[in-house]
Amino acid sequence: MTHDHSPTPETYGDFQLAYQTLNMALFDGRLPDVMFTLARTRHAYGYVMPEGYTAQGDPASTIAEIGLNPATFAERTAEEILSTIAHEMVHLDQHLNGKPSPFGYHNREFARRMLAIGLQTSDTGKPGGAQVGQHMTHYILDGHAFQITARQLIADGWAVRYTSPVESDDDKARRVARKASKTKYTCPRCGTNAWARPGAKLACASDAHDIPYHMVAAD
């Protein structure tokens, strides 16, 4: 199949343009260049790894990675996707110039930094949600710096050109059914795991046993 598009440079060029524009408008240009990746993650719109890459031949160098989940693009607006990039940029800025909490916790400093660019942290993504915590999203504040910058980008033609197909209700039901049809069994003696249908009778014949041990379903 032939086409007139070049999806890879177009997609990553668009993300690079968004990053550079947001960096100058919201972070005074202080953030370093990053590596963008696309990754289908089950429970996130995006993520940042402050030390995701090193330059070949220079192991002391570090390049941050911002990952975006293409499985969510079709159901979100361009402004919302840009807000995810900005959210991860705040994480990076806090890592470089602030005091982030360990293990991905979104602390009060992170909430303040988000608010400073026009995004309000919220565990529900709506007004009234908790503003700090382990699992955190945000909503866009009307008329503030992020929204002004994002809407100018979009007015100038910025868009997500390619989206991943949205999972249909039937496909989702089949995936859930497949997951439910598998039960984890564990050997109580050596810890070996196996997966089978609910109610299956399995025995572990590991060399560590004198006789096969019946495996039990995990709680």
User: Residue 194: which domain range?
Assistant: 177-217
> 118 and 144 share a domain?
yes
> 138 and 97 share a domain?
yes
In the chain, how many domains are there?
Answer: 2
> 146 and 62 share a domain?
yes
> 129 and 210 share a domain?
no
Query: The domain spanning residue 124 has which CATH number?
Result: 3.30.2010.10
| pLDDT at residue number 147 | 98
Q: Are 208 and 219 in contact (CB under 8 A)?
A: no
Examine residue 153 and state whether it is found in any structural domain, yes or no: yes
Q: Is the pTM of this model over 0.85?
A: no
pLDDT, tens digit only, all 219 positions of the chain: 455 789 999 999 999 999 999 999 999 999 999 999 999 887 899 999 999 999 999 988 899 999 999 999 999 999 999 999 999 999 999 999 999 998 889 999 999 999 999 999 999 999 999 999 988 999 999 999 999 999 999 999 999 999 988 766 666 666 666 666 678 888 766 778 887 877 777 777 765 555 565 666 654
Q: Are 194 and 202 in contact (CB under 8 A)?
A: yes
| pLDDT at residue number 99 | 95
Nearest to 24 by CA among 120, 83, 89: 89
> 26 and 63 share a domain?
yes
Exposed/middle/buried for residue 3 (C-beta within 10 Å: 0-12, 13-18, 19+):
exposed
Q: Distance between CA atoms of 128 and 51, rounded to whole angstroms?
A: 33
| pLDDT at residue number 183 | 80
> 45 and 152 share a domain?
yes
Examine residue 43 and state whether it is found in any structural domain, yes or no: yes
- Sheet of 193-196: strand order equals 193-196, 183-186, 216-217
> 88 and 190 share a domain?
no
Examine residue 172 and state whether it is found in any structural domain, yes or no: no
